[in-house]
Structure 1
Amino acid sequence: MSDDQSSPSSSSFSNTSHADSADGNGRRNFLRDTALGTGALLTVSTLAPAFAQQAPAIVTSERLRPQVDSGAMSGDITRDTAMLWSRTDRAARMVVEYSVNENFKDALTIAGPAALARNDYTARVDLRGLPVSQRLFYRVRFQDLQHESAWSAPVTGSLIIPGGGERDISFAFSGDEAGQGWGINEAWGGYRVYETMRRFKPDFFIHSGDQIYADGPIQAEVTLDDGSIWRNLVTPAKSKVAQTLDDYRGNFAYNLMDANKKRFMAEVPFLVQWDDHEVRNNWYPGQVIGEAEKRYQERELNVLKQRARQAMFEYNPFRIDVADPERIYRAFNYGPLLEVFMLDERSYRGANSPNRQSVQGQDAAFLGAAQMRWIKQALLRSRSTWKVIASDMPISIVVPDLNPDVPQGTFEAWANADNGKPSGRELEVAELLRFIKRHNIKNVVWVTADVHYASATYYMPEKAQFTDFKPFWEFVGGPLHAGTFGPGEIDRTFGPDVRYVSIPADMKQNRSPADLFQFFGIGKIDAKTKVMTVSLHNVDGKNLFTVDLPPEV
């Protein structure tokens, strides 16, 4: 997962049945098989001739050919490695051909794992020894396991692994996808923000969570404020809250029906983390859904989260940590210019509460002790000029927990709205910021999402209740395609100076994507000056805010 961890040459998920997914042995077997998948590096001539250009001529019936309707995507790129992911509709072997030449001259080929029903026909291959700062072209086919002459049509894509220091690095960041009932409206253009981001040609994309809204059913029609009708594509899985493994899978599969997203993910690698809606709004480990929430029959969040985590791993190009297969936090090194640190603010948190604890402990945990040790040491080891921390929740924007089965005055994020000395989860923020200052770790920038509007905030010790930290920036993106909310209340504990907010202070809540309040960020590091330029944009790409950050030397 992070650079200093070993991982297999390729991997596929071996999933459990619904009955097993909540069972300890079933989960351990699933995670073990996930981490131990293998593949073989071949030349094109080693494979059946059907893999070459003449493949369609061998198949006599289209129905015998595996279908690859979900496209292909890459992710977890770091140093000289990349994960490739795809999904088919039947038992078939994933085969990947890749080359630095767009015509696939001198291509290498990997015969990857089998996509089987037990993994929802998803498969992934880990490519190693790839060129840095050079576009790599790939194509994916699936060979039917029952009809060896039947090959899918190729799905093509490309990627760049930034690094080396001679070339500028750019990345996009955002989150919050298909929320509040706003799904794929093909007449409006689908998930238009993905096509807009693609035109910026980022080297990779940080998806800061809420990849799906498992607790947000989508209806076929929604009446807008002007009386017009917003028409969604609807599937069975998106017509109810997710509870079974197949429900969660169906939520991820729904977003891959969008043509804009598939085009984007074929060209731009993903780094993904999870937030709450991958499972259920504002969830935390050990939670039991209260009786005020009527939609759920399965009320144990620990059961739901394991099903959700399995589906998320199946539907993303994750590189699994062999030593800790459930681990989501990880780091990605891009050489002398940039390293990215992806946090997990769900798996280890304590229960949502008034968030006013005076000392650290499990009830006030957000990252947890092990992850805190990891991020400290990872930052300390980093030799990159810029260190980007991807947090799935913002630091100072107050996020109350408004679930019907939760008492009022309960908080979901870091902040507790008291504007005072750090308490509750803020104690972890203070600990990390103090560590960064005392070890003089330079050029740390935070990016996040979750709150459904964009903002830029500069944290200043001279304005803070807690002052033992170096000034830093935090940038919020999102939503990608969901209801727009906010702006949120700001907690003043860490001296936030809000430099930009993308929406009016009195905005109507849950604005539809048709109102164009969908947002993302772009970060770009100049290889010569090492200046990082961060800009915030709307769904049409309009530049809303830009700041140049010269590096501290």
Structure 2
Amino acid sequence: MRNLNRRHFLVTGLAAGAAAGLPAGAEAATRGREPAASPFTLGVASGDPDHQGFVIWTRLAVNPMAEDGMGGMPARPVTVQWQIYADERARFPVRVGVTRAVPEWGHSVHVEIAGLAPGREYWYRFKTGRHVSPLGRARTAPHPFQYGGALSMAFVSCAQYEHGYFTSYRRLAEENPDLVLHLGDYQYEYTKNTYVIPGGNVRHHDGPETETLANYRQRHAQYKADADLQAAHAAAPWLVVWDDHELDNNWADEIPEKPEIPQPNFRQRREAAFRAYYENMPLRRSSVPRGIDMQLYRRVRWGRLATFHMLDTRQYRDDQGCGDGYRDCPAAIDPARSITGGEQEAWLLDGFRHSRAQWDILGQQVFFAQRDNNAGPQKITSQDAWDGYVASRKRITQGWLDAKVRNPVVLTGDVHAHWASDLKLDYDDPTGPSVGSELVATSISTGGDGKDSDPQTQPFLKINPHLKFYNNQRGYVLTKIERDLMTADFRVVPQVQVPGSGVHTKSTFVIEDRVPGVKQTYLRPVDPALKALGETTIEETVRMETERP
């Protein structure tokens, strides 16, 4: 298997460097051997851009929900052509080549494109025989020594297929962002009628709870076949990291959610989940899994403007100290415990020391700021989040302070609600300085519709003065990153339990260059007296950089 893996990726690598123009005979090589029906049922995707290129992905499946996880494909390699275009009408190819989709990797295709111009859009598609995939949009990062223009970046998490439609993905695609970060819980492992919302689920998972490679492949295919998710993937390159449900709820390293129940096959389950995750994501060959291990933490640079430190807070963490819920837990402050593991922590701190970016952005999974739910002196916090690893959090925070990181921003998913908060070195001193900012995206669909909420009545905000915003609707966060300002629009859809809802901005926060912490903005009508003077050039709204009274 090891030699086959290397050969497969050697073929992919050579394809990525092919000169323009298909190799002679490439078209003929697939005639008579291509699938009878289109195998591009799972869409296309791109990811991990740099200033010279990106990864393009597809996975062939004529029958996505086949129980054996093979998508109805033959047990042999299939030749796939790929094409990169300079225009969205696919008239001007700039790179073309051929690769193979092999059954050992679920007929997935990962091509690492290089040699493109920095800081511009490209389009791509695949072809096998007479079948042509949808067209996807990607873009390269700016040159490492340049800032480029403003970056439109969105981040999302937590898409439970059964709880609602993926309307937020569709609305996100319509925003036409430059980059999308998915921070985990891309898919859920449960079988039908296991994770049920009040009133009942609106659609159902096929197959058993995911434990085998065939199970995980089938589940990924069910999600990938969703048209709204396909639209979001085709709209922009993604940076992906997992959380827990890609494998098992609240797993920690080699420990399952319920370690008290014997699970002798958990290592095999982890290996299967990691392999299927790679097969279904636009990841570079550096993330090819090796047994139960997979290199997912990595750095992606967007010119001088931003560096994205993508973290893995599941694979290397110590087990939750006192269970997964809210506890007063002595183990939470044990300095020996880590949520990142020592090697990843050292890698992150080294990245801080060498960073010259305007914005250093941590793309990660679980709540970073302290979130105490007890108004009294006893601290009750979630042991599954960074609150369960207090010393680990403090080392990371002190690390960016020691490195004099210009603008540290933590992006988070997991908790199925929108949040914004200031970050502290010492959360027990509410008067102490803010040293960073955290933005948290609600779920795409997990939890069903949710409900609108008044942040002023949220108990967490009263107990934790560094927490500045909360909303319990579904959606995503859309940011605009400029040299002097990062603007975050908390986008919400009123309903996901019926399809087709619109989207609007519930609140907007800004982070100013070299001013740690978040500031809420809102729009105020212009004074009617000014409008009466005929000042038609005056904007109808004024941004107020202060909290709403």
1:256 to 216, 224, 247: 224
Q: What is the CA distance between 1:398 and its match in structure 2?
A: 5.4
Q: Which amino acid aligns with 1:235?
A: D
C-alpha distance in structure 2 between counterparts of 1:254 and 1:279, whole Å: 16
C-alpha distance in structure 2 between counterparts of 1:318 and 1:61, whole Å: 28
CA-to-aligned-CA distance 1:459-499 (integer Å, 9 cap, x gap): 24586359997521111112112115799985999x76111
TM-score after normalising by structure 2: 0.76
Q: How does 1:200-239 map to 2 (within 5 A)?
A: 200-214=175-189, 216-218=190-192, 225=199, 231-232=202-203, 234-236=205-207
Aligned residues of 1:81 and 1:126 also touching (Cα < 8 A): yes
For the pair 1:433 / 2:397, whether they are aligned, the reply is yes
CA-to-aligned-CA distance 1:297-350 (integer Å, 9 cap, x gap): 955432221111111011001113289962110011011111111000011111
Q: Which amino acid aligns with 2:342?
A: A
C-alpha distance in structure 1 between counterparts of 2:276 and 2:514, whole Å: 41
Q: What is the CA distance between 1:288 and its match in structure 2?
A: 5.4
User: Paired residue for 2:488?
Assistant: 534
SS at match of 1:39: helix
Q: What is the CA distance between 1:411 and its match in structure 2?
A: 2.2
Q: How does 1:490-501 map to 2 (within 5 A)?
A: 497-501=466-470
User: Paired residue for 1:287?
Assistant: 255
Aligned residues: 465
2:279 to 292, 314, 324: 314
For the pair 1:367 / 2:340, whether they are aligned, the reply is yes
Q: What is the CA distance between 1:79 and its match in structure 2?
A: 2.4
Q: What is the CA distance between 1:541 and its match in structure 2?
A: 2.4
Q: Which amino acid aligns with 2:78?
A: A
SS at match of 2:362: strand
For the pair 1:411 / 2:376, whether they are aligned, the reply is no
SS at match of 2:13: coil
C-alpha distance in structure 2 between counterparts of 1:303 and 1:223, whole Å: 30
Aligned residues of 2:157 and 2:184 also touching (Cα < 8 A): yes
1:525 to 481, 484, 507: 481
User: Paired residue for 1:347?
Assistant: 315
User: Paired residue for 2:508?
Assistant: 546
Root-mean-square deviation (CA, aligned residues, Å) is 3.5
Structure 2: runs of 5+ lacking an equivalent: 62-72, 323-328, 374-379, 494-501, 516-549
Structure 1: runs of 5+ lacking an equivalent: 1-25, 143-149, 184-189, 401-407, 417-424, 504-516
Aligned residues of 1:222 and 1:231 also touching (Cα < 8 A): no
Aligned residues of 1:399 and 1:413 also touching (Cα < 8 A): no
Q: Closer, same or farther in 2 for the Cα pair 1:533/1:444, shift >3 Å?
A: same
User: Paired residue for 2:154?
Assistant: 172
2:438 to 456, 474, 480: 474
For the pair 1:46 / 2:46, whether they are aligned, the reply is no
Q: Which amino acid aligns with 2:137?
A: S
Q: What is the CA distance between 1:220 and its match in structure 2?
A: 12
User: Paired residue for 1:274?
Assistant: 242
User: Paired residue for 2:267?
Assistant: 302
Aligned residues of 1:396 and 1:492 also touching (Cα < 8 A): no
SS at match of 1:499: strand
User: Paired residue for 2:46?
Assistant: 74
C-alpha distance in structure 1 between counterparts of 2:513 and 2:395, whole Å: 23
Aligned residues of 2:247 and 2:270 also touching (Cα < 8 A): yes
Q: Closer, same or farther in 2 for the Cα pair 1:413/1:115, shift >3 Å?
A: same
CA-to-aligned-CA distance 1:97-141 (integer Å, 9 cap, x gap): 112133444424443431122111111100012222221011111
Aligned residues of 2:148 and 2:305 also touching (Cα < 8 A): no
C-alpha distance in structure 2 between counterparts of 1:62 and 1:273, whole Å: 33
SS at match of 1:481: coil
Q: What is the CA distance between 1:270 and its match in structure 2?
A: 1.0
2:365 to 392, 400, 404: 392
C-alpha distance in structure 2 between counterparts of 1:466 and 1:242, whole Å: 44
CA-to-aligned-CA distance 1:147-195 (integer Å, 9 cap, x gap): xxx332232111122424231101001100126x325xxxxxx311011
TM-score after normalising by structure 1: 0.75
Aligned residues of 1:208 and 1:448 also touching (Cα < 8 A): yes
SS at match of 1:520: strand
CA-to-aligned-CA distance 1:526-547 (integer Å, 9 cap, x gap): 3xx5311112110232111212
